[in-house]
A and B are shown apart, each in its own frame.
Chain A
Amino acid sequence: MTKTIVIDPITRLEGHGKISIFLDDQGAVEDCYFQIPEFRGFEQFVVGRPLEELPRIVTRICGVCPASHHMASAKAVDACFGNEVAPVAHKLRDMYYNAHYIHSHTAHFYALAAPDFVMGPDADPAVRNILGVVGKVGLEIGGKVIRCRGLAQEIQRVIGGRNTQDIWCLPGGVAKPLKPEELEQIKPWVEELYDFTVFSLQLFADVVLNNPQYVELILRGPYTLDVHSMGLVDDNNAPNFYHGKVRVVDYEGNEIHKYEPKDYAEYVAEHVEPWSYLKFPFLKKRGWKGFVEGIDTSIYCATPLARLNVADRMATPRAQEAFEQMYATLGGHPSRALLAQHWARLIEMVQNAETLKAYCADPEITSDQVRVIPRTITGEGVGIVEAMRGTLTHHYTCDEQGICTSANLIVGTTNNNAPIHMVTKKVAQALIKPGVEPDQGLLNMIEMAFRAFDPCYSCATHSLGKMPLEVIIYRGGELVKTIKRNC
C-alpha cells in the first residue's frame, strides 16, 4: 500500500508551493515532487504595452522584491533604447538597489532563518519564530533589527520616491535626482546600517559557528547538492548585484561559462514538466539531463552562496575578510553546503553597506543630470541583475515605436526550481525512514532545505517567519495521520 504525503500549501512564489511525497510499501521515500501551482502570464500580457511602462508593470510579479524586477526591466528597456544612460543614474540605481538588498536580507536572516538556528531546528514550533528569537536575544537586538530594516526601506523611499512597487527608473536614467539635503539625511543611516551588518556577522558567529552541532549540520548534513553555481560578477570577478557578466562555475571551482546579459539565451534554457507551472532552467550547452547531480549535470543554483562561489573575491574590504573566513571554515572555495547560504547572505550585506558608504562619499551622486532622452530604438534588449533570490533576466523586443512585441523572463527563484526539487527529495529520503512516523521537527528539517534558498514563496513569510505546513499521510486513500505545524 502506497502512502502519499502532501505538504500543501507551503507559501508563495506566484502563489503557493506544494510538496508531494510518495512512500513505498516499506515506508521509504519513493518519489518527491516540488510543485508550483500558480501562474499569471506576465510574458504575454506585457506585449503591446509601451516599453517605458514595463518597469512599473513587472514589479507586480513580486511585491516583496519588486525592486529587482524594476531594475532588470529598466536595464532591458535601456538596451532597447540603445543604452544611452546618464552615468550618475547607474550609480543612483546601484545605490538604491544595495539598500533594497539590506532590507530583504535582514528580513530573511532574522525572521526566516534565525529561528532555526537561534531556537534550534527541532524547537517547539510555538517559539520557533521571530518572536521567539526576540525573546531569546533580547528586545534591544529585536528593536535594532526592526529599525535597520526600516532604514534600508527609507533610504529607497528618499532616493526613488517609493519603496514598494517602484516607479523611479525611466529609459535613459531615473525620474528624480538625489538632492544634497537628501544625501545628508541618508548618510547617518548608512553608517548605522554598516555597523548593523558587521554586528549581524558577529551574531552568526556567536550563535551558529560556536555551536559544533550546527557546524556539523552545515558541513555534513544532507543539505548538500553536487550542482553548479551562477552569479553576476564585475571585471574583477567580484559580486555585483546591479551590473556585470554572468559567471557559471562548477562545484570544483572551474569556470564553465562567462557571458554578457545579451547572450543569455545561448547559455540558459528552460525545461517544462506537466506537473508544475514553474519552469526548470538548465545550462543549455549541456542539454537537459534530468534532475541529476554530478560534475556533468546541467543543473545550477543561483543563490547568495552561488554568487560567492562564482566570485574570486568580494568588492569591498570588510566583506572580503568575511569571505575568506567563511571559505576557510567550509573547507575551501567553492562550497556545496547549502545551509551556508545564510552566512553568504550576511557577507553580501556587508558589501551592500560598504557600497552605500562609498556612494555617500561620491561627489557626483547628487548631480542633477540623471536622465538623457534616448535617440534610438534598437528593437531588442536584455537586462540582468542579481535578485536576492537569484540571477534575474528580462528580455524584451519592441517595434520602431518602442512598443513591446515579446518578453521572456527568467526569475530569480526559477533558477533554483530544479535544485530545490532535488534537495527536498534528498532530505526527505534521508530523514523519512521506514517505520518512523514523520513529526513536526522532521517537517521543519525538510523546510530548512528549501528555506536556505530563500525562495520567493517564502518572501512573504519574511516578516513573521512562519511557514505554514501540514503533512497528510494517506494509506490506500484512507487518512492515517495529520501533522500540523501551528503558529
Chain B
Amino acid sequence: MADKKLQIALYWGAACGGCDVAVLDTNEFILDVAAVADIRLWPIAADGKYKDIEAMADGELDLAIFNGGVRNSENEHIAHLLRQKSKLLVAFGSCAYMGGIPGLANLTSREKILETAYRRNPSIEWGNRVVPQPETKLNGKELEIPKFYRRVYKLDQVVDVDYYIPGCPPQPDRVRETLLAIVKGELPPKGSVVGAFDHALCEDCPRTKNEKKVKKFYRPWEIKADPDTCLLEQGVLCCGVATRSGCGVRCPTSGIPCRGCYGPPPGVTDQGAKLASAVASIVDSKDPNEIEEILAGLPDFTSFAYRYGVAASLLQRSYRQ
C-alpha cells in the first residue's frame, strides 16, 4: 500500500451528520490523510454522486467508511454499491454498527410513525390525508423519493462488513488512531471492533466504586447525585457496566449517566441482557414484592438497555434476507 495512494470513500445512510463532524474534529489530521490517500467520495467535502460510484470498477476502492443505519431504499442501494466497489467496508459510528438512536423506531411501526408525523400531530393542516409516497404523478410529471422501510437495519444486516468503529459519535482520538492503523495496514482479524478499548467503561471512570446495593432507583432529575461516587451505586441507572470504553468517559465525568453509545464490551453478545443482569445483581432485596417495587423505579428499561442497539439486539428476531 506504500507506493500507491489509498483510495477512500466516506458515505452516509440514515445519519445525523455527527459522524462526519467527528471525522472533521480530527482537524489537521485530515490533511495527513489526504497526503497518503485519495478521498474519492465524501459528500460533505467533495462531489458525491451515485453515478460516480457506479462507474468505478469492483474493488477499486481500498476503504469505504459508512456511517448511519439503513432506513430506506436509497440507503440500502448505496450500501450494496460501496460493498461491491471497496475492498474494505467499515461500519462507522453507533448507527452503522448497531442501528443507533434511529433504531428506537423498531420499537414501534412504520404505520404509526407515518400516521403521527403526517396526520396526527397538532400542527398538521386541518383535514390533511396526504402522506408522502415513493412515486407521485403531478401534471404528467413523475416525482420520486425513496421507500421508507418497515424498520431500521444495522449495516451488516444488509451487506458484509469488515470492521466496526463504535461511538455516537466516535471520539476523534480513536478515529485518528484507527485511520492510521488502516493506512499502515496494521489490521486485526476481519469482523473486529476497532477504535475502542477492550474493557468496560467503568474501568476508566474516575468515580469511586464501593459495594453496589440498591434499595431505590432514581431518575436523573429526582436526585442531586454525589459528583465523586459511582452513579449506579447511588441508584441512578448508568450503562457503563454494559458498555465498551473508548469515549473518554465524557458523560459520567459531567454528572450525566452513560447510555451505552459504544456498544457492548468484548465477550458480550447482547448489551441489554448484560445491563439487565447487572441491574438484577445489585437490587438489595430477596422479597419478590419489594424487588418489583424497586424495579418500578426504572420505567422503559428497554430504551436504556438498547438506546443505541435495538436493531442489533436479540429482541430483533427477524432479519430481512
Which A residues form the contact surface with B (CB < 8 A)? 2, 4, 9, 11-12, 14-16, 18, 20, 22, 31, 33, 35-41, 43-50, 52-53, 56-57, 59-64, 66, 81, 146, 150, 160-162, 164-165, 167-168, 170-172, 175-176, 264-265, 268-277, 279, 281-282, 284, 288, 371, 373-374, 395, 401-403, 406, 408, 410, 459-461, 463-464, 466, 468-470, 484-487
Contact = CB atoms under 8 A, between A and B. Distances in A.
Contact of A63 (B43, B130, B169): B169
A161 B21 contact: no
B18 A164 contact: yes
Contact of B146 (A38, A150, A167, A170): A38
Contacts of A484: 47, 49
B254 interface: yes
A31 B104 CA distance: 38
A162 B219 contact: no
7 contacts: A15-B74, A60-B168, A164-B22, A281-B123, A403-B299, A461-B44, A463-B45
A402 to B, nearest CB: 8
Given A45-B108, A64-B21, A461-B44, A35 B143 contact: yes
A4 B144 CA distance: 13
Chain A CB within 10 Å — which of B12, B123, B133, B303 has the most?
A: B123
B104 A63 contact: no
B24 interface: yes
Contacts of B12: 12, 15
Given A160-B254, A165-B169, A52 B132 contact: no
Contacts of B122: 265, 395, 408
Given A48-B303, A50-B219, A464 B45 contact: yes
Nearest to B138: A275
A279 B122 CA distance: 13
Given A57-B101, A164-B21, A167-B251, A275 B124 contact: no
B102 A40 contact: yes
Nearest to A52: B221
Nearest to B124: A270
B229 interface: no
**Which has the most chain B C-beta neighbours within 10 Å: A50, A52, A63, A269?**
A63
B116 interface: yes
A468 B43 contact: yes
A60 B24 contact: no
A269 B141 CA distance: 28
Given A44-B116, A48-B303, A164-B25, A62 B17 contact: yes
Query: Which 5 A-B residue pairings sit nearest by Cβ, starting from the closest?
Result: A63-B18, A161-B254, A41-B113, A175-B255, A63-B16
B128 A272 contact: yes
Given A31-B141, A164-B169, A273 B256 contact: no
A271 B130 CA distance: 9
B123 A162 contact: no
A47 B124 CA distance: 18
A275 B254 contact: no
B115 to A, nearest CB: 8
A172 B219 CA distance: 13
Contacts of B146: 37-38
A168 B256 contact: yes
Contacts of A461: 44-45
A3 to B, nearest CB: 12
B254 A176 contact: yes
Contacts of A408: 121-123
Given A43-B116, A269-B126, A485 B47 contact: yes
Nearest to B111: A44
Interface residues of B, number: 76
Given A40-B14, A168-B256, A468-B46, A161 B131 contact: no
B118 interface: yes
A418 to B, nearest CB: 12
A373 B18 contact: no
A264 B125 CA distance: 14
A460 B20 contact: yes
Given A35-B143, A463-B24, A470 B254 contact: no
B145 interface: yes
Nearest to B225: A175
B296 to A, nearest CB: 10
A170 B254 contact: no
Nearest to A16: B74
B71 interface: yes
A373 B121 contact: no
A126 to B, nearest CB: 11
B125 to A, nearest CB: 5
A461 B47 CA distance: 11
A41 B17 contact: no
A410 B123 contact: yes
Interface string B282-317: 000000000000000001100100010000000000
Interface string B1-26: 00000000000101111111110110
Given A45-B105, A288-B125, A170 B141 contact: no
A271 B254 contact: no
B107 A45 contact: yes
Contacts of B25: 164
A143 to B, nearest CB: 11
B43 A9 contact: yes
Contacts of A38: 14, 71-72, 74, 146
A52 B220 contact: yes
B121 A277 contact: no
Interface in B243-258: 250-251, 253-256
Given A161-B250, A165-B169, A274-B130, A9 B113 contact: no
Contacts of A46: 104
Given A172-B221, A466-B46, A271 B128 contact: yes
Given A175-B254, A401-B299, A463-B44, A63 B15 contact: yes
Nearest to B223: A373
